[in-house]
Amino acid sequence: MSAAPVREVFASPAELAEAAARTVADELAAALERSGSAALALSGGSTPRTLYRLLALPEHRASIAWDRVDVFFGDERCVPPIDVDSNYRMAHETLLGPLQLDSERVHRIRGELGAEQAAAEYEELLRARLGPAPRLDLVLLGMGGDGHTASLFPGAPALDERRRLAVAARAPVEPRERVTLTFPALNAARRVLFLVAGVDKAPAVARVAAGDASAPAARVRPAEGSCTWMLDRAAAAGIP
Ligand code: 6PG
């Protein structure tokens, strides 16, 4: 039975990012201690930018053995990696580039191939890198105002996937063609960290807190892991 998600509320997005940087460092250190390597999935969107920039700073960089971390992505827009809408580009500019990570350790979703081919390729890659029972050590996720997470949108067929780890998806906003990790992939993780900030997210946060499963983010409940919602006060405003 999956543990109930934990909520942590911070006075500001900056404090949230600082706390998230510490949590990421601790979680990766524990994974490295456990198995000598760690598998991290990055979130897209705008909220994690501050966290990524912090992790690239010398004071945080030193606390993580990045040379033993495999970096994956929770979802991607089907655009070239240099496109402004590319989650890979955002992560590269704010974290992966500054850290000069070995490209062998950075596993981006090749969205430019088109959603179906990119999803099939990523499925193969995840199974090849993570083994017969693929488990990510740490997954970073955001949430949209409609309750979507990664590119798992309300009412989408991708929500019903039971076996595959990565599938094609369609977003209600441009760029529409996406690739996303599925609930089987997310709920197999050891730790999921939601980073959610801003008053526009408050209604969806309240729906998730009330257990409203029509918000896809509410269905992220790692079976044998933990889930933490890191919220700023504005995003938490709707929670009793
Ligand atoms: C994406 C993300 C998506 C994002 C939310 C929140 O590719 O857009 O993976 O799930 O996390 O839309 O986005 P913001 O952080 O920009 O509000």
pLDDT, one tens digit per residue, over 98-144 is 999 999 999 999 999 999 999 999 999 999 999 999 999 999 999 99
Instruction: Give the pLDDT score at 1.
Output: 57
Query: Cα 207–208–210 angle (5° rounding)?
Result: 65
Helices (H), 171-239: 183-186, 202-209
Instruction: Give the pLDDT score at 229.
Output: 98
H/E run at residue 191: strand 191-196
- What average pLDDT does the chain have? 97
Instruction: Give the pLDDT score at 2.
Output: 72
Query: Cα 88–120–139 angle (5° rounding)?
Result: 45
Distance 143 CA to ligand 1 centre (A): 6
pLDDT tens for 69-108 read 999 999 999 999 999 999 999 999 999 999 999 999 999 9
Pick from 52, 89, 146, 149 the residue to mutate for probing ligand 1's pocket: most ligand atoms within 8 Å of its CB.
Answer: 149
Kindly state the DSSP code that residue 157 receives in the 8-state scheme: G
Angle between helix axes 13-35 and 49-56 (nearest 10 degrees) is: 60
Mean pLDDT of 155-160: 98
- Ligand 1 pocket check for 149: Cβ under 6 Å: yes
CA quadruple 237, 26, 218, 71: dihedral sign = positive
- Ligand 1 pocket check for 214: Cβ under 6 Å: no
Instruction: Give the pLDDT score at 222.
Output: 96
What amino acid occupies position 38? Answer: A
H/E run at residue 73: strand 69-73
Both ends of the chain: CA-CA distance in Å? 25
pTM over 0.85: yes
Kindly state the DSSP code that residue 96 receives in the 8-state scheme: I
**Cross-strand bridge partners of residue 226:** 191
Distance 55 CA to ligand 1 centre (A): 19
**Cross-strand bridge partners of residue 10:** 232
Kindly state the DSSP code that residue 169 receives in the 8-state scheme: E
Whether 191 and 27 have beta carbons less than 8 Å apart is answered as yes
Nearest to 17 by CA among 54, 56, 63, 42: 54
Instruction: Using CB atoms within 10 Å of the CB of residue 108, give its burial: 0 to 12 exposed, 13 to 18 middle, 19+ buried.
Output: buried
Percent of the chain at pLDDT exceeding 90: 97
pLDDT tens for 34-66 read 999 999 999 999 999 999 999 999 999 988 999
Instruction: Give the pLDDT score at 95.
Output: 98
What amino acid occupies position 186? Answer: L
Pick from 77, 109, 139, 148 the residue to mutate for probing ligand 1's pocket: most ligand atoms within 8 Å of its CB.
Answer: 148
- Ligand 1 pocket check for 47: Cβ under 6 Å: yes
Instruction: Give the pLDDT score at 3.
Output: 79
Confidence of residue 240 (pLDDT cuts 50, 70, 90): confident
